[in-house]
Amino acid sequence: MNKQPTDRRALIVGAAGFVGKYLADELNAAGGWSVCVTKMPQEALSIASVTAYDLNILDRAAVDTLLAELRPEVIFHLAAQSSVAVSWKNPGLTVDVNIKGTLNLLDAVRDCGFSPRVLLIGSSEEYGAVAPEEIPVKETTLPRPGNIYAVTKNTQNQLGRLYAQAYGLDILSTRSFNHIGPNQTPLFVVADFCRQVVEIEKGRHEPVLQVGNLSAKRDFTDVRDVVRAYRLLALTGEKGETYNVGQGKAVEINAILQMILSLSKETIQVEIDPAKLRPVDVPIIEADISKLQKATGWKPEISLGQTLEETLTYWRNQA
């Protein structure tokens, strides 16, 4: 893809995880963007027509240096400790990366001498245990974060709003609901279930699938729809605002499990693994996406069934 001098310069921070490559592909396919990405020094990342830089966001001086070198017009901040389960086990790391790391980025943007737009990727987990009458949640719903990851993402959101107000920075935030698709790590539920089914299909595991809390309801969107929302928000979202990014419909984890099991010919038993149950797991998280739709015209296009099929196929194609 030829980069034009007029292309918007995008920097994706934390691009070697699940979402980063999809976002780079989305920007490249849409055209009009010239894309650079960052990864942690130990991570491998190769994306066609994209330059990757090593960056640990806990190193403030390194953030300054990179911004001065690249002078991005839009920064997509994906870097995070992104797992709720891991945040219970490693709260210190989660606080460091998600709060101190974000602060380093915001301070670097404040001091860089130009005015990039920054899209901070937050989480639906920020809402926590809302009352039944507050479902689906709007951006104005009072957040009551119910786990360490959620607390850090809500702090990120508040820092973003504060820096936008106090310093006039062009910062906006998402609250992204569960996103899924091929290439996600099996720390997360759909990838975890698909990987286990394939292990059973390949005869590497007895036909018993280990699960956590099946009664939770979550709002799942294909990662390719999610990154399209991020691109559109970068173009037409409003400074200082927060946008829910989700499907707008919650589905019980048990229903997801049954859909995945129905895609396999194996007869598989389901067993609860107490280690997969969390100290707190809010019963339902469902998005009101009218604000996002009004701002961008976005709507999800990929069905849950298609995403589950493609994710299972992805795992079947792994060695």
316 contact partners, CB below 8 Å, separation of at least 6 = 198, 201
Is 124 near ligand GDD (CB under 6 A)? yes
Q: Among 225, 211, 206, which residue's Cα sits nearest to residue 256?
A: 211
Do 51 and 96 meet the contact criterion of CB atoms below 8 Å apart?
A: no
Beta strand pairing call for 74-77 and 8-13 = parallel
3-state helix, strand, coil in the chain (%, to 5): 45, 20, 40
For residue 52, the partner it binds in ligand A2R, ligand GDD, none, with Cβ less than 5 to 8 A by kind, is none
For residue 296, the partner it binds in ligand A2R, ligand GDD, none, with Cβ less than 5 to 8 A by kind, is none
Is 91 near ligand GDD (CB under 6 A)? no
Which of positions 2-41 make contact with ligand A2R (CB under 6 A)? 14, 16-20, 40
Is 226 near ligand GDD (CB under 6 A)? no
Rg of the Cα trace of the chain?
19
User: Residue 47 CB, nearest distance to ligand A2R (Å)?
Assistant: 13
Rounded to an integer, what distance in angstroms lies between the CA atom of residue 123 and that of residue 93?
17
Q: Determine which residue in the list 123, 155, 221, 307 makes contact with ligand GDD, applying CB under 6 A.
A: 123
Quick one: 82 or 247, whose CB is closer to ligand A2R? Answer: 82
User: Residue 201 CB, nearest distance to ligand A2R (Å)?
Assistant: 25
Ramachandran class of 6: left when φ > 0, alpha when ψ lies in -120 to 50, beta otherwise: alpha
Is 52 near ligand GDD (CB under 6 A)? no
For residue 78, the partner it binds in ligand A2R, ligand GDD, none, with Cβ less than 5 to 8 A by kind, is ligand A2R
Is 123 near ligand A2R (CB under 6 A)? yes
Quick one: 28 or 247, whose CB is closer to ligand GDD? Answer: 247
For residue 57, the partner it binds in ligand GDD, ligand A2R, none, with Cβ less than 5 to 8 A by kind, is ligand A2R
H, E, C per residue of 83-108: CHHHHHHCHHHHHHHHHHHHHHHHHH
Q: Determine which residue in the list 239, 276, 294, 299 makes contact with ligand GDD, applying CB under 6 A.
A: 276
CA dist list (Å): 179 to 54, 79, 199, 247, 264: 25, 16, 23, 9, 22
Which of positions 159-198 make contact with ligand A2R (CB under 6 A)? 176
For residue 211, the partner it binds in ligand A2R, ligand GDD, none, with Cβ less than 5 to 8 A by kind, is ligand GDD
CA dihedral 115, 116, 117, 123 (to 10 degrees): -120
Is 177 near ligand GDD (CB under 6 A)? yes
110 forms beta bridges with none
Q: Determine which residue in the list 43, 53, 135, 188 makes contact with ligand GDD, applying CB under 6 A.
A: 188
Rounded to an integer, what distance in angstroms lies between the CA atom of residue 232 and that of residue 74?
12
Residues at the site binding ligand GDD, with contacts judged by CB under 6 A: 82, 84-85, 123-125, 176-178, 187-189, 192, 211-214, 216, 218, 253, 276, 278, 281
Q: In the complex, which residues of this chain contact ligand A2R (CB under 6 A)?
A: 14, 16-20, 40, 43, 55-58, 78-82, 97, 101, 121, 123, 176
